[in-house]
Amino acid sequence: MNELLETPTCTSKLNTNKPDFDWRSVSRLMLLSRALDDIEEHELVPEKLVFNQFSARGHDFAQILLGSLLTHPHDAATGYYRSRPFVMSLGIDLDEVVASPLAKSGGYSDGRDIGVVCNYPNVNRKGAMLFPMCGGVGAQYSPISGWAQSILYHRDQLEEESYVGAIAVSMGGDSSMSTSGFWAALNISTTNNLPHLFYIEDNGYGISVPQETQTPESR
C-alpha cells in the first residue's frame, strides 16, 4: 500500500525562488487525499466507523507543495485537523493514515487517537519533523515558536552550521487566528525575528461560523 505514498521531492528549499516539484508524486498524493476524504464522507461516516471527518479538499494541493519544500533536516511543523495531506507529503505510512481515524491498532496512538488529527511518528523521516497534533484550536502555535527559537540558539549561539536555513512552520485555519495561542506565538516570533512561517488556510469559515462574525475587517 505504501508505494502509493511516495514522498514528493523538490530539489529546492522553501527559501529559493524556483522550486522544482515532482508533479507526478504531488498529483498522486492529492488524488489519494481526495479519495480518502470521499471514502470517509460517503462510506465510513454513514456506517459510523469514523465519527468526525474534516475534509482537506481544496486545502490539499497547497499543503502538499508546502510539505515537499520542507527538506531541511531541522525543519519542523505543527498541523491541525485538516493537515492530513501535508503529513502525507512528509512521508507518513498509508497504514498509519488509515488506522488512526478508525481507532485501529497500528496507528500512532494504537487506537487511542481522537481520530480527527493525523499524527506522524517521525520514524525514518525524510522531511520536516511534525510535532504531535492536538484537537484544541490554537494550541499548535506556541510550541513551534519554541522550535524556531531553538533554531536561532543552535545557529547563532552554538554556531552550528547545520541549523542554517532551517525553519519552523505552524498550520492553522483562519478562525484559529482568534485564539490567544495564535497571538502569543505571533508576539514571540515577530519580536524575536524567529524563522517561523505562519501558514494560515483561509476557507472563509471556522467550521460553520462565517468569518465576518468573528474576524475583524472581514465584512
Which residues of the shown chain bind ligand TPP in the complex (CB under 6 A)? 82, 135-138, 172-176, 201, 203, 205-207
Residue 182 Cβ vs ligand TPP, minimum distance, rounded to whole Å:
9
Closer to ligand TPP by CB, 160 or 202: give it.
Answer: 202
Q: How far is the CB of 173 from ligand TPP (least distance, A)?
A: 2
Integer angstrom CA distances of residue 178 from 118, 131, 217, 218: 23, 22, 13, 13
160: alpha, beta or left? (left if phi > 0; alpha if psi -120 to 50) = beta
At closest approach, how far in Å is the CB of 140 from ligand TPP?
10
CB closer to ligand TPP out of 190 and 203: 203
β-pair partners for 198: 170
Which residue sits closest to ligand TPP, CB atoms considered? 173
When the beta carbons of 71 and 89 are compared against ligand TPP, the nearer one is 89
- Give whichever of 71 and 140 is closer to ligand TPP, judged by the CB atom: 140
Q: How far is the CB of 146 from ligand TPP (least distance, A)?
A: 19
Cβ pair 166, 71 in contact under 8 A: no
The answer to whether 217 and 73 are in contact (CB under 8 A) is no
User: Largest alpha-carbon pair distance within the chain?
Assistant: 55
